[in-house]
Amino acid sequence: MVKRIGTARRKTRQKLSIPKRERGRIAIRRILSTFNVGDKIALKIDPSFRKGQYFPRFHGLAGEVKSQRGACYEVEITDINKKKRVIVHPAHLKRL
């Protein structure tokens, strides 16, 4: 197999760009937002906040909160036909 060169953020110019009006500092309410177990959420990376980011392949997927791990949440998503658990900071989660 070919060895991949680079980090997880490679080839994400369009995916991780945000509109001009939304650029700048992240709102504190997004960092401190809380979710309950069983809540339906959408994964949306905020590129200005690096802590608790997940792999960009899962950007835009919907999932369910399964548990809390410290300041982050464990979210179960479906990647093609397989169930996966991703650890995500609340700054990158959006309630559905």
Helix (H) or strand (E) holding 75: strand 72-79
Residue 9 covered by a domain: no
How many domains is the chain built from? 1
The answer to whether the CB of 85 falls within 8 A of the CB of 64 is no
pLDDT at 35 (0 to 100): 97
pTM: 0.88
Please say whether the beta carbons of 17 and 6 come within 8 A.
Answer: no
Share of the chain above pLDDT 90, in %: 72
Task: Please write the tens of the pLDDT for every residue from 48-75.
Answer: 899 999 999 999 999 999 999 999 999 9
- Tokens found for residue 58: 């899962």
Instruction: For residue 41, give the CATH number of its domain.
Output: 2.30.30.70
What would the pLDDT profile of 21-31 be if each residue is shown by its tens digit?
988 888 899 99
Q: Is residue 26 part of a domain?
A: yes
Residue 7's pLDDT is 87
Q: Comparing C-alpha atoms, which of 34, 27, 45 is closest to residue 95?
A: 34
Q: Is the separation of the CB atoms in 51 and 40 below 8 Å? A: no
- The pLDDT value recorded for residue 22 is 85
* Measured distance CA(48)–CA(58) in Å, rounded: 18
Q: Is residue 10 in some structural domain? A: no
User: What is the residue range of 30's domain?
Assistant: 20-95
The residue whose two tokens read 């608790």 is 52
> Taking Cα atoms as reference points, which of 20, 11, 16, 72 lies closest to residue 41?
72
